[in-house]
Structure 1
Amino acid sequence: MPLGWLWASLFGAAALGGPAIHAAFFAPGRLELAAEAGAAVASAGLAAAAADRAIRRPLLRIRSAVLQVQAGDLNLEAPLSPVREIDELSADLRRSLASLQASTDSLIYRAFHDPLTELPNRAMFLAAFARALSEERRPNRVAILFMDVDRFKYLNDTLGHGVGDQLLSVFAQRLVGAAEGHMVARLGGDEFTVLVRGEGAASEAVRVARRVLQALRRPFSVAGQEMFVSSSIGIAVNGPEDRTTTELLRKADVALYRAKSEGRARFVVYSAELDADPAERFDLDNGLRRAVERKELQLLYQPIVDLETGALVGMEALLRWNHPHRGVLSPATFIAVAEETGEIVRIGNWVLEEACRETARVQQLRPGLPLTVSVNISAAEFRQADLPGRVQRVLESTGLEPHALTLELTESVLLHDTAAAMASLDELGRLGVGLALDDFGTGYSSLSYLQRLPVDTLKVDQSFVGRLGADPTSGPLTRAIVEMGHALGMRVVAEGVETEWQLAYLREIGCQLGQGRLFAGPLASGQFRRLAASLRPAAAWGPLLRAG
């Protein structure tokens, strides 16, 4: 209480000032009363101090804590107090702070991470990418790998989004393992990036890309199905002119597009020449529309041989374009453009008719030669409702027997529309033509799906054959594919046979047929006819390498 008020109540109002204080204080009986009053004052002062420590100060600290929380600072402790009610209030505040901190951490994590793969998302990647470009100002200090899952849309649409999501999760795990500490992010859909920083970023990015492609060669087991998945990768490295994430991402995207146009399952490093693609594509589109009429298209024929005897048993028709200004172009250069513009159907018609006509010519030249021709069918052609009828008309017009024609289709073509695909395959089978599954092992095959397909030939992709002896996993995988084909009653053809060691191994595991430069590369029609004419009678045929 105020000391002046207490003094006046003891000694009167006059005691508050002047000489009367002394006389009043020492009046009879007043001294004892003053002593009691002093004790009361001291006791009240101690009680006020204790209350200040126990109540007022903790409340002020709690108020300060609340103000700090309002300012966004959650890294604080609520004060303790010996007063139970205040201590409970403080404990409630501590629990609220912990809950608020957990919610905030969760919100921040979800804002910067992909919920499916738990990888950093686009926002987090772009922030890290921008920071890297601002800190690493010298060239060749920042590189990005931009990649997606080859033919992912086919898988997602055919097997369902649930399976697609599971595949992306496993794909992300493979990427993280191959990146070895470099930042991996999912930009969205099936698009992923890897951020590489430091000296020699370009060479390190290439090393990471090779590890990624290697990691994806192992089969994926998803939803009880085994499948093979590949990825195309575009790489861009910072130069003096690259100041923004947008520009470097654009370059990586251009490189990714080139990787896909060259056949997928590979990486391409961006160079300035790739920016000519839009003009190049326009030129290719215009040229393709006139290529058939100008007779600029050409078929080469690569022999298919019996690996045990070396006998010539067939050939694959391979398309080339004799471009008037750019020379001979492989399909990897122009097929993507042809598919986008729809010109692929007209080109496919020409290929089928020309291949059948040439095979009939060779059979007339060597009547006893049991020769078949394999022709690739694109997705756009396969989706044509009249494909079986068109094949029948071509066989009738060229005089080729149906059993002498094999149509090669990739797994992705067959996965596009399962019901329609089965109906078309059944109709083609009734015609008597052979059906082959091309590039097996690079798509999304499952045993149950493969068992239902009315195909009679399985072609092992050359990426498996080419790694025989160099990659410890390629031998067992190739053996498994061959044994699986045999178990399903199919002939197996190995593509890309180039060495005697590969030939010996393929023979050992029971692969019946093969093609590749060990036997012969793609031949012009005239060369193939001369080869066929030079072969000895069928009963005495030796290895093709020693023929002619």
Structure 2
Amino acid sequence: MSRNLVARVATRLMETTASTVAAVNEQVLAELVEDLDIDAAFLRHNDHKVRVSKLVAFWPPRRDGSVPDWLTVAHFSSADPILSLCENGKKLTVVRPEPSEPTYARWVAGAQERWGLDAAKIPSPSAAAAPLISGGVTTGQLICMKFRRKKWRTDELNVIQTVASLLAQLQARITAEEKLRNLAEHDDLTGLHNRRALIAHLSERLAPGRPGPVPVLYLDLDRLKSINDYLGHTAGDWFIRTFAEQLRLKAGAKSLTARLGGDEFVVVPDRSMSIETAQKTGEELCTALRDRMTLGGHMITRTVSVGVAVGMPGRDTTSDVLHRADEAVLSAKRAGGNSAAVSSDDMSLQRLFRNDIELHLSGEIDNDALLLHYLPEVDLWTGAIVATEALVRWRHPTWGLLLPESFIGVAESANLGGDLGKWVMRKAIAEFSRWRSRGVGQNITLRLNVSPGQLISRGFVSSVAETIDEFGIDGGSICLEITERAVVRDIDTTRKTLEALKEVGVQIAIDDFGTGYAVLSHLKSLPVDTLKIDTSFVRDLGTSSRDLAIVRAIIGLAEAFDLQLVAEGVETPAAALTLMRHGCHRAQGYLLSRPLPGNAMESLLSSRWMPMPFLADSQALTSSTI
């Protein structure tokens, strides 16, 4: 029975996420109580900063169903002896208080009050407390209690100790994931949410079926540049932090408040609003944030411009609403600032562009208007070209050469993503095959982006297999890249598709890794070969300690799961050198090469190497670059 219990607990904890950990902890305690035939079990976590032990879960529940207040938060200096023993304890401890001790009376009274046990049925209370240990630190305790039997069998104590070890591992994993999530979601200077968190929140609010309209207030501090130029960036940073604190307070705890960077902020109120109500809210916020303050010995009037827009779930995209709000705040600033402006419907250029793209794209997929460019991937230590990523371009008759950001989103919304992706795959593999037939690119990998729609579409796996077979390419030289958010959109379908693709023989990479973070809990079960660190974490490496913290965490994940790692968007020597120092050696980005037409890429591949001029300064490699 004990072995079965431990096996069940281990299996359950492997599948636990931050959203389910509370319920799972309670389930584990319930199984301990039932399988070991004990009377109660408690799980506590330590907070060594303030020297307290916090109750996390308990079983069985109280008679009245309430959460107990008895020792919910207990200070180690004045707590029950069993908690004091476990503050820094490293071994399982059994406590059997004598009837003359205060602890005995307290335990009996607690059992009577919580579960209605008769004092006569509590002849000899005792407790076994196993510490939760992570990284050499006692992070909590698993406490099991008996009121009816004095003896603890060795096999019972072994089970309690083993389950405590499993719970400690779960606690450490959830803590690490929460830390990474917090780093990925918050702005370094102000502590507000960042752009990534804002996009995720707005995407959820604008999903079909959600209540609307969804208000968006885009704020831009007036005259921050003057403060930076005259008083310096330190004063400017203080000004921004002070403003952020007031904005969080005035916007309300339930609203999402984000800093996009510089002097730009966004507030998404927690309730739906008409455009008229949103305008009034923006005007009130503008007035509430107006203030006079002393900065560097100067009296400064702080004002803000506010742009107001609303989006309809299922109709408007996140980028649409943010763009309209941004246009509105620019209108407010052009009018002199210190005011709120509402987005109008006069966005003819943007809408014309989008409508034009959607109208013409379907007819261009099989024509010569689409073409491929290729972005090389390089080993930073040697300069060897190890892979190339196929990127689609569109020669538009009116707008000129369009990059994928201009039309991929439109293609997806118009259900053309599958056709476009199929064209890119077939075109790229055909060209890759021709290169190899001429003795070029024999040892490199061809990377192909897969859209979320493609990933879950019927017949996708067979289409990949047929295309590879048609052009005589070994599957191992093809790597399909899927975004992190696409992975978790339908995790069960995605897992099955990826497993089928692995049977075909292709490699799998998670693109833009770190922006979605929800894939962390599934990473161990997905057949993935490579993680690609998102550009947003790489761009400022060498100057941003927060980005470095996230990148180092991702590098650690890749090492733990034995995955290849590629950094995207390497644009500066500092970023490249920082990546190398911390163990990421494969990269792509404008520092190395811009995307190249097929013939230029073939020529580059024939040389097999790229110059690495930034490595010439060996002192820079060993410097204190962040």
TM normalised by structure 1 equals: 0.55
Which whole-Å CA distance do the structure 2 matches of 1:354 and 1:375 have between them?
Answer: 11
The Cα offsets for residues 233-289 of structure 1, whole Å up to 9 and x where unpaired, read as: 6322355999xxxx94434xx8xxxxxxxxxxxxxxxxx6x4323322221112102
Q: Give the letter aligned to residue 199 of structure 2.
A: D
Whether 2:585 is the aligned partner of 1:502: answer no
Q: Is the 8 A contact 2:512 2:532 kept in 1?
A: yes
Q: Is the 8 A contact 2:257 2:267 kept in 1?
A: no
Shift of 1:365: 2.5
Question: 1:196/1:315 Cα in 2 relative to 1: closer, same or farther (>3 Å)?
Answer: farther
Give the equivalent residue in structure 2 for 1:3: none
Shift of 1:439: 0.5
Which whole-Å CA distance do the structure 1 matches of 2:198 and 2:260 have between them?
Answer: 17
Q: Is the 8 A contact 2:370 2:393 kept in 1?
A: yes
SS at match of 1:473: helix
SS at match of 1:518: coil
The Cα offsets for residues 99-144 of structure 1, whole Å up to 9 and x where unpaired, read as: xxxxxxxxxxxxxxxxxxxxxxxxxxxxxxxxxxxxxxxxxxxxxx
SS at match of 2:469: helix
Give the equivalent residue in structure 2 for 1:93: none
- Give runs of aligned pairs for residues 266-415 of structure 1, distance below 5 A: 274-366=347-439, 369-415=442-488
Question: 1:432/1:293 Cα in 2 relative to 1: closer, same or farther (>3 Å)?
Answer: closer
Q: Is the 8 A contact 2:369 2:394 kept in 1?
A: yes
Shift of 1:493: 0.2
Of 260, 263, 269, 1:186 maps to 269
- Give runs of aligned pairs for residues 151-162 of structure 1, distance below 5 A: 151-152=200-201
SS at match of 2:495: helix
Q: Is the 8 A contact 1:148 1:190 kept in 2?
A: no
Question: 1:368/1:293 Cα in 2 relative to 1: closer, same or farther (>3 Å)?
Answer: closer
Q: Is the 8 A contact 1:150 1:232 kept in 2?
A: no
Question: 1:305/1:177 Cα in 2 relative to 1: closer, same or farther (>3 Å)?
Answer: closer
Which whole-Å CA distance do the structure 1 matches of 2:461 and 2:303 have between them?
Answer: 50
Question: 1:313/1:189 Cα in 2 relative to 1: closer, same or farther (>3 Å)?
Answer: farther
Of 190, 199, 203, 1:150 maps to 199
Which whole-Å CA distance do the structure 2 matches of 1:384 and 1:421 have between them?
Answer: 10
Q: Is the 8 A contact 1:438 1:459 kept in 2?
A: yes
SS at match of 2:386: strand
Which whole-Å CA distance do the structure 2 matches of 1:183 and 1:304 have between them?
Answer: 36
Give the equivalent residue in structure 1 for 2:529: 456
Give the equivalent residue in structure 2 for 1:106: none
Q: Is the 8 A contact 1:457 1:491 kept in 2?
A: yes
Shift of 1:293: 3.1
Q: Is the 8 A contact 1:360 1:400 kept in 2?
A: yes
SS at match of 2:542: coil
Of 440, 453, 470, 2:513 maps to 440
Question: 1:171/1:415 Cα in 2 relative to 1: closer, same or farther (>3 Å)?
Answer: farther
Which whole-Å CA distance do the structure 2 matches of 1:157 and 1:402 have between them?
Answer: 39
Which whole-Å CA distance do the structure 2 matches of 1:412 and 1:507 have between them?
Answer: 27
Question: 1:454/1:172 Cα in 2 relative to 1: closer, same or farther (>3 Å)?
Answer: farther
Give the equivalent residue in structure 1 for 2:557: 484
Q: Is the 8 A contact 2:256 2:267 kept in 1?
A: no
Percent same amino acid among aligned pairs? 30
- Give runs of aligned pairs for residues 7-406 of structure 1, distance below 5 A: 149-152=198-201, 172=255, 175=258, 184=267, 186-188=269-271, 195-197=285-287, 204=304, 234-235=325-326, 236-237=328-329, 238=331, 248-251=341-344, 274-366=347-439, 369-406=442-479
Give the equivalent residue in structure 1 for 2:191: none
Over the aligned positions, Cα root-mean-square deviation in angstroms equals 4.2
Q: Is the 8 A contact 1:378 1:409 kept in 2?
A: yes
- Give runs of aligned pairs for residues 516-535 of structure 1, distance below 5 A: 516-535=589-608
Question: 1:178/1:501 Cα in 2 relative to 1: closer, same or farther (>3 Å)?
Answer: closer
Q: Is the 8 A contact 2:254 2:270 kept in 1?
A: no
The Cα offsets for residues 399-456 of structure 1, whole Å up to 9 and x where unpaired, read as: 1110111111011111121111111111001111010000011113353222222111
Which whole-Å CA distance do the structure 1 matches of 2:546 and 2:561 have between them?
Answer: 23
Q: Is the 8 A contact 1:491 1:512 kept in 2?
A: no
Q: Is the 8 A contact 1:316 1:375 kept in 2?
A: yes
Give the equivalent residue in structure 1 for 2:497: 424
Question: 1:151/1:475 Cα in 2 relative to 1: closer, same or farther (>3 Å)?
Answer: closer
The Cα offsets for residues 489-536 of structure 1, whole Å up to 9 and x where unpaired, read as: 11000001122221111111111310011211100001011112233x
Q: Is the 8 A contact 1:441 1:461 kept in 2?
A: yes
SS at match of 2:571: coil
Which whole-Å CA distance do the structure 1 matches of 2:480 and 2:573 have between them?
Answer: 29
Question: 1:275/1:427 Cα in 2 relative to 1: closer, same or farther (>3 Å)?
Answer: same
Q: Which is richer in strand?
A: 2
Shift of 1:148: 8.6
Which whole-Å CA distance do the structure 2 matches of 1:363 and 1:356 have between them?
Answer: 10
Q: Give the letter aligned to residue 196 of structure 1.
A: C
Question: 1:153/1:382 Cα in 2 relative to 1: closer, same or farther (>3 Å)?
Answer: farther
Question: 1:521/1:250 Cα in 2 relative to 1: closer, same or farther (>3 Å)?
Answer: same
Which whole-Å CA distance do the structure 2 matches of 1:466 and 1:329 have between them?
Answer: 23
Question: 1:232/1:201 Cα in 2 relative to 1: closer, same or farther (>3 Å)?
Answer: farther
Which whole-Å CA distance do the structure 2 matches of 1:326 and 1:284 have between them?
Answer: 10
Q: Give the letter aligned to residue 323 of structure 1.
A: H
Which whole-Å CA distance do the structure 1 matches of 2:444 and 2:273 have between them?
Answer: 43
Which whole-Å CA distance do the structure 2 matches of 1:342 and 1:418 have between them?
Answer: 21
Question: 1:530/1:417 Cα in 2 relative to 1: closer, same or farther (>3 Å)?
Answer: same
Q: Is the 8 A contact 1:440 1:461 kept in 2?
A: yes
Question: 1:401/1:147 Cα in 2 relative to 1: closer, same or farther (>3 Å)?
Answer: closer
Q: Give the letter aligned to residue 250 of structure 1.
A: S
SS at match of 2:557: helix
Which whole-Å CA distance do the structure 2 matches of 1:328 and 1:313 have between them?
Answer: 28
Shift of 1:358: 1.4
Q: Give the letter aligned to residue 583 of structure 2.
A: G
Q: Give the letter aligned to residue 150 of structure 1.
A: I
Q: Is the 8 A contact 1:360 1:399 kept in 2?
A: yes
Deviates more, 1:187-196 or 1:362-371: 187-196
Which whole-Å CA distance do the structure 2 matches of 1:173 and 1:294 have between them?
Answer: 45
SS at match of 1:315: strand
Give the equivalent residue in structure 2 for 1:221: none
Q: Is the 8 A contact 1:363 1:371 kept in 2?
A: no
SS at match of 1:188: coil
Which whole-Å CA distance do the structure 2 matches of 1:521 and 1:179 have between them?
Answer: 28
SS at match of 1:196: helix
Question: 1:465/1:239 Cα in 2 relative to 1: closer, same or farther (>3 Å)?
Answer: closer
TM normalised by structure 2 equals: 0.48
Q: Is the 8 A contact 2:196 2:515 kept in 1?
A: no
Q: Is the 8 A contact 1:149 1:190 kept in 2?
A: no
Number of aligned positions between the proteins: 342
Q: Is the 8 A contact 1:359 1:372 kept in 2?
A: no
Q: Is the 8 A contact 1:301 1:316 kept in 2?
A: yes
Question: 1:170/1:528 Cα in 2 relative to 1: closer, same or farther (>3 Å)?
Answer: farther
- Tell me: higher relative CO, structure 1 or 2? Use CA pairs within 8 A at least 6 residues apart: 1
Which whole-Å CA distance do the structure 1 matches of 2:266 and 2:566 have between them?
Answer: 41
